[in-house]
Every structure is written in structure tokens, then in C-alpha cells.
Structure 1
Amino acid sequence: MTGFTDHARKAEASLRGLFPPTPLQRNGHLSARYGAEILLKREDLTPVRSYKLRGAFNAMRKVLVARPDQGVFVCASAGNHAQGVAFACRHFGVRGVVFMPVTTPQQKIDKTRSFGGENVEITLTGDYFDDTLAAAQAYCAESGGHFLAPFDDADVIEGQASVAIEILDALEAPPDLVILPVGGGGLAAGIVSVLRETAPRTSVRFVEPAGGASLTAALEAGQPVALPSVDSFVDGAAVARIGERPFAALRGAGRADVLCAPEDRICATMLEMLNVEGIVLEPAGALAVDVLPELAEAIAGKTVVCVTSGGNFDFERLPEVRERAQRHTGLKKYFILRLPQRPGALRDFLDLLGPEDDIARFEYLKKSARNFGTVLIGIETKRAENLPALYARMGERGLVFRDITDDVVLSEFLI
């Protein structure tokens, strides 16, 4: 045992007063599909349904050892980090102040409050996270509080590394491959640091959302850089800038080791895990599983660990997830149709639909000319090949239409 791993093992041992090791489960469905031993490290089964509790707990523990009279702990978060901090504050019996954006969903506010109880005060401020972060840091300076960063903190990284300790302790031999989600980089940095010291033959792949590829940008620039924009759908990993400390541990990664997962494809993975396996994953929690098809040839016959990092999914988002999954798999299309304004025109169009095609949306938009009208149509089907066939029949009939399924601007405005 050396250096960092020694500290990570102590962090892991301290967590046992809080919760048992999360399961490392063989998934029969995925193992059969890929001809490999696919194991899921179920971080979605911690008391706060994410790994974030580990880092928050470890950082707080070490502060209290050094300064038992520390008055208040402060964080800025709209999600899993806030819940981890709240849980740890209640465990240690210390005061915490959690700053959250005004736009934070009530469900997340309520969960944070329930985990922290009377030990935690929630302050809603700022429409955007940068404003919330600035307010939290200003409060820290005024109150003498200790700021608990979500990922760019040595003690937080050390706490997240306890995941690697549990993986290695649960197996007779180190796995061939570990697939890790990356947002701010704290979890990945901690696990990689342990594997380098204790299981150097284990390969690692990193996965980040396509709309928040901060590690990719940092590797290209040679240093952490801020992305010009971020798609917030994968809210547990959509970070504009990877942390300095995490990047120091990850900068040796090759570009081929970093995979980007499209948000719509992640939705399809979430639905599959829910419908087939009964496993509820948030978007960030599905990242490691989502890239398995890309690695299919490389992982055949090997032992692969996918870290499912969280399961804090608000089921009010399920219709959106289903919609995006259908679009990705080709089971749903939207198009604008120029329809002749004459009796029987709609019937002619309906006759073109196949037996597995169903109209999910039909909206008359406006009359573009005296003899034609514009219609927004959404079609759902059971097999992806049905919709190209429908388009071909429409073309043969001479209908003028435009597919807007992948047009972000039009889709958001019209759909």
C-alpha cells in the first residue's frame, strides 16, 4: 500500500460508520449482450443515491479532526453534492449552509432539507450557478465558514477514491477495465489514482456528456478551460470547466480513452436500464453503461466495471427522457408538411401511414397560401426502418415536407 491509496483506504474505513460498501453487481443482461463480465458499481445505492456523500464526508471529517470547533460548513450546489453535504452535517452534528440557485427544482430542495434536518440551512440565490457560487464564497469569507468544493478539493477526491478501494476488495483480481463518468473530475481522479498505484494493468475509459466535454477540452488545450456553453441535461456531469486538481490526475489520459455520450442516447440507456433491469439511473449515472456499444469488440471476454454514479432521477422528467430516447432510436420523427387545402388531402396522407405508424402530434400551423396549409406532424412507430419508408412514400406522392427532428431551434420552439 502506498501514498494516495493509504489515505483512500482510511477514508473508506471511516465511511463504514455511515453505510456499507455499495454493491458490485454482475449484470446478466449486459454480460450476455457483450460476451463479457459486466459489473455495475452501484453508487446509486448510497444513502443519498450518489457517490457525492463520500467526498463531502471525508472532507468534513478531516476538517473536524484539525479544527473540532469549526463553526459552519458551506457549499454551493443544486444537486447531489448538496445532499451529500447535508447528510454529512447531520451525521457530525455540525451546522451547514447550502446555497442553491433560485431555479433549483423543489424536489431537490426538499431532499437536501430532509437529509440535513435542523443542521442545514438552505439559501436560494442567483438564477445561474456562478451567481450562487459567488454568494456562497462571500458568505464563507464573512462567517469564517469552511467551503466544501464539489470536486476540486484534495480531501473530496480522496473520499471519492474509496469507490476504487471497494471495487478492488470485492474482486479476487483487478478488473480488466473500469469505465468512469467525468464531470468536474473528482470521482475519476480519485479512482484513477488508486488504480495506478495498486492495479496498473487495469485500463480506464472516461465518459463525459457530449454537451459538457470539459475533460476533452482540457486535454486538447493542455489545461482546464471553460467551455463556451454547456447542455445542462446531464446535470450531474455537465460542468463547464474540469477542476485543476482532478485534471492533474487525469492529464495523462489519451484522447482515445475519453468518450463522449450524446444526451439523446443517454436517455435510451436510462430507459433500457429502467425497463429491463429495474434500475433507476440519473443521466450522469448512466454514462458508463451508455458507451458499452462503442467498446463491444474491445471488452469481449473481459471483466468490466461500470460505475453507475447516481440515481437521483425526478420522474417528472420521464416524458422528456422517453421523447429523446425515441428520437435517438429513430422511433419518432417530427416534420412540417405542406398539405393541399382540398377535401380528401388529409385522408390521402393518412393512407401513406404503415400499420405500425401512429400520429403523436398533429397541429395546423398557418395558411401559407390560398391552396396550401402547413402542418406540424409527429409520428411514432415500432421499428426504426418504418419512418424512412414513410418518407419515401411521401416523396413518391410528391408531398413537400421538412424533417425537423434534429433541428434544435425549430424543435424547441415548435415541439
Structure 2
Amino acid sequence: MTDFAKNARSAAKAMRALFPPTPLQRNVHLSDRFGADIWLKREDLTPVRSYKIRGAFNAMGKALAAMPDQRRFVCASAGNHAQGVAFVCQHFGVEGVVFMPVTTPKQKIDKTRAFGGGAVTITLVGDFFDETLAAAQTYCLEHGAHFLSPFDDAHVIEGQASVALEVLDEMGSAPDHMILPVGGGGLSSGVIRYFDAVGAGTALTLVEPEGGPSLTAALAAGEPTSVPITDTFVDGAAVARIGEQPFDVLRHTDPAHVLLAPENRICVTIGEMLNVEGIVLEPAGALAIDVLESLSDVLRGKTVVCVTSGGNFDFERLPEVKERAMNWQGLKKYFILRLPQRPGALKDFLDLLGPEDNITRFEYLKKSSRNFGSVLIGIETTHADTFEGLFERVLARGFDFRDVTNDEILAGFLI
């Protein structure tokens, strides 16, 4: 066994002072659906509902062993890393200073404060994470505090590797395939290093959100490179630049084994796991499950482990999740209707709706001319193909309309 594997096992043993191994559960629903033996490694069931507590615990413990007088630790995070650091600060009895963007939802601030139990001070700085990170690092320099990176740290990677160790211990053998989410790369690089160290021979698929493909960009460039975040929905994995140390491990990854998950499709997965299985997953926590459909031919008949990396889901986001899921499934559309300004025109349009068509939004925008007005209409239905018939009937009746469902500019202003 290599030093890395030994250190990961020591880290896992020490973690038992905080929490037991997270459950590895066979999921009957997914197994039957995809014709495989599918297991979920439930990292959403740690004390802070994400795997981030592992790396934070190991890195802080190693820092205290090397610097016993260090009593102040700092991190920059708007989510799971902050909560993991706060929980570990309380465990070790040290002071934590957590820097968060000003735009961080109150729910996440309150949870971080609760996990810290009085040991943590929260500082809100900057509208964007880069500003928050710079403020945290400046604070460390000025106050001699120790900065805890969320992923670009050898001891964090070592701590995250305990996920792989627990999977092997709980299964008794290596799974055929494992699917992991990727953000900054701490979890995936730790798992890969551990599997390599013990000769597990498990095939790996890594998953990034489509709106933040930092590993995909790094593999194409041969080095970490910054990418624009085009969609922040998967906030736990939408990282603009993968970590330097994780990429040293991940640079040999076959790009074909890195999949991108569309954010709207992830919403379908979140809803399915909540409604069918009663499992609450945050967007990043659903990444591994979301790509099962894309891998169905590869996985059939095999033993598969999906890491559900987090369950810190704000239920105030449920309307957005439903909206985006229906968009992906083609069950909801928005369009602008040019409606004649005459008595009975609206009734003529309503008569064109089918029995499964439901108007969820109706808003007059303005009069286009003296004789016509523009109306924003949202319609939900139960089968995507019903829209084709509806649009044919609308055009045949002489109404002019424009589908703006996927028009980023107009939808951004109107919907």
C-alpha cells in the first residue's frame, strides 16, 4: 500500500470521531431502469450534507499537528466547503473566519453559522467569488491565519480519498464503474489516486455541469485554464478554474470519460429522485445520477457506484427546478402572441387549446399598433408533442406568434 493510501486510511479512521461511514445503498429504481447493479454513495448524509467535511477535517487536523499554536482558520466559500470548515472548527475548538459573497442566500449563511456553534465568524465581501477569495487571502496575510482551500490542497485531496476507501470496504470488492461529479477536482483526484494506489481497476466517469466545464477546458489546453461560468445553477460544481494539484492527477484522464450535464436536465433528475425515491439532492449532488442515461449501454449488467456528493438544497428553488425540468422535457413553453384588438379575439385563441393545455402565464406587454397587442403566454402540457398541433392550429387561425422559451435574451427580460 502506498503512502497516499495509508494516509487516506488514517484520515478515514480519524473521521470516525465526527461521523460513521456514509451509507452505500443499492438503488432498486435506478438498477431496474438501467439494467445494472447501481449503488449510491450517500455523501449527502454526512453531518453537513456533503463530502466537503472530509477534506476540511483532514487538512485542519494536519495543520494543527504541524502548528499546534495555530488557532485561526480561514476559508472562502458560499456553500458546502464553508459548512464543512465551520463544523470542523467547532470540533477542534479553533476560530474560523468564513468569507462569503454578499449575494450568498441567508439560508446558507445561517447553516454555516449553526454548524460553527459560535466558533465561526462570517464576513460578507464582494459580489463575485473572486473578490471574496482575494479578501480571504489578504486577511490570512494580515492576521497570520491558515487558509483552507476547498480543493487545491494535498491534505484536502487525501481527505476526500476516504470516499473511495469506504466504497471498497463496504462492497468488499471494487465496483466495475464509478461516476463522480467534478468541480474543483478535489474529490475526483482523491478517488483516482486511491484506486490507483490499491489497484482497484474501476472504470471512472467524471461529470461536470455544462455551464462550468473547467476540467474539459483544462484537458483541451493541457493545463488549468479559466472558463466563463455561463450558468450558476450547479453552484456546488460550477468552478471557473480547476485546481492545480487536482489537475496534476486528472491530466491523464481520457476526455471521452468526462461528460457534461445540461442544467435543465439535472432538474429532471433532482425532481425524479425527490418524488420517486424521497432523496433530496442539490444540483451538484445529482450530477452522477444524471448521466446514467448517457452511459446506459456501457453500464448494463455492471456494478456501478454513483457518488451523491451533496444534499444542501434550498427548497425555495423548487419552482425554478420545476420550470427548468419542464423546459428540458418540452412540457412548458412561452410565446408572444400578436392578438387582434377586437372583441372575441382572446376567446378565439382559447378555443384552440387542447384538453391537456394549461395557461400558467398571461400578460399583456403592449399594443404593437392600434389594431394589435402583444401578449406573453406560458402554457404547460402533459405531452411535448401536443405543442406541434397547438401551433399548427394557431397559425391556421391566422394568429402570429413567436416561441421565446429558449431565447436567452427575451426570456431573460420577460419570463
TM over 0.5: yes
The DSSP-based 3-state class of the residue aligned with 2:118 is helix
The one-letter amino acid of 2:404's match is I
Aligned to 1:208: 208
Aligned to 1:277: 277
C-alpha separation in 2, matches of 1:172 and 1:130: 43
Aligned to 1:31: 31
Aligned to 1:362: 362
Contact (CA 8 Å) 1:179, 1:206: kept in 2 or not?
yes
Aligned to 2:328: 328
Structure 1: 5+ residue stretches without partners: none
The one-letter amino acid of 1:120's match is V
The structural deviation recorded for 1:166 is 0.3
The DSSP-based 3-state class of the residue aligned with 2:84 is helix
C-alpha separation in 1, matches of 2:396 and 2:243: 55
Aligned to 2:3: 3
Within 5 Å, which residues of 2 pair with 1:150-165?
Answer: 150-165=150-165
Aligned to 1:227: 227
The structural deviation recorded for 1:348 is 1.4
The DSSP-based 3-state class of the residue aligned with 1:21 is coil
C-alpha separation in 2, matches of 1:20 and 1:211: 34
Contact (CA 8 Å) 1:353, 1:390: kept in 2 or not?
yes
Aligned to 1:260: 260
Within 5 Å, which residues of 2 pair with 1:231-310?
Answer: 231-310=231-310
Aligned to 2:315: 315
C-alpha separation in 2, matches of 1:348 and 1:31: 49
C-alpha separation in 2, matches of 1:21 and 1:230: 35
C-alpha separation in 2, matches of 1:245 and 1:329: 38
The one-letter amino acid of 1:111's match is K
> Structure 1 segments of 4 or more deviating over 3 A?
none
- Which stretch of structure 1 is more off in the superposition, 239-248 or 220-229? 220-229
The one-letter amino acid of 1:191's match is V
Contact (CA 8 Å) 2:21, 2:166: kept in 1 or not?
yes
Write out per-residue CA displacement over residues 110-166 of structure 1, whole angstroms, 9 at most, x where no aligned residue: 111111122111111111111111111111011111100000000000000100000
The one-letter amino acid of 1:233's match is F
Contact (CA 8 Å) 1:230, 1:239: kept in 2 or not?
no
C-alpha separation in 2, matches of 1:389 and 1:52: 49
Say whether 1:394 aligns with 2:394: yes
C-alpha separation in 1, matches of 2:42 and 2:330: 30
Q: CA RMSD in A?
A: 1.0
TM-score (norm 2): 0.98
Within 5 Å, which residues of 2 pair with 1:185-204?
Answer: 185-204=185-204
Write out per-residue CA displacement over residues 211-268 of structure 1, whole angstroms, 9 at most, x where no aligned residue: 0000000000000000134421110001000000111111111111010001111111
The percentage of aligned residue pairs carrying the same residue is 70
- Which stretch of structure 1 is more off in the superposition, 115-124 or 236-245? 115-124
Contact (CA 8 Å) 1:331, 1:380: kept in 2 or not?
yes
C-alpha separation in 1, matches of 2:99 and 2:253: 34
Contact (CA 8 Å) 2:182, 2:207: kept in 1 or not?
yes
C-alpha separation in 2, matches of 1:366 and 1:208: 41
- Which stretch of structure 1 is more off in the superposition, 282-291 or 128-137? 128-137
The one-letter amino acid of 2:122's match is I
Within 5 Å, which residues of 2 pair with 1:79-158?
Answer: 79-158=79-158
Contact (CA 8 Å) 2:73, 2:147: kept in 1 or not?
yes
Aligned to 1:349: 349
Contact (CA 8 Å) 1:178, 1:203: kept in 2 or not?
yes
C-alpha separation in 2, matches of 1:304 and 1:388: 39
Contact (CA 8 Å) 1:71, 1:144: kept in 2 or not?
no
- Which stretch of structure 1 is more off in the superposition, 52-61 or 394-403? 394-403
How many residue pairs end up in the alignment? Answer: 415
Contact (CA 8 Å) 1:230, 1:240: kept in 2 or not?
no
Write out per-residue CA displacement over residues 362-401 of structure 1, whole angstroms, 9 at most, x where no aligned residue: 1111110122111110000111221222112222323211
The DSSP-based 3-state class of the residue aligned with 2:96 is strand
The DSSP-based 3-state class of the residue aligned with 1:22 is coil
C-alpha separation in 1, matches of 2:396 and 2:200: 59
The DSSP-based 3-state class of the residue aligned with 1:118 is coil
The one-letter amino acid of 1:29's match is H
The one-letter amino acid of 1:237's match is A
Structure 2: 5+ residue stretches without partners: none
TM-score (norm 1): 0.98
C-alpha separation in 1, matches of 2:12 and 2:229: 36
C-alpha separation in 2, matches of 1:329 and 1:176: 31
- Which stretch of structure 1 is more off in the superposition, 192-201 or 176-185? 192-201
Aligned to 1:175: 175
The structural deviation recorded for 1:200 is 4.2
C-alpha separation in 2, matches of 1:118 and 1:344: 65
Contact (CA 8 Å) 2:224, 2:241: kept in 1 or not?
yes
Contact (CA 8 Å) 1:70, 1:145: kept in 2 or not?
yes
The one-letter amino acid of 2:32's match is A
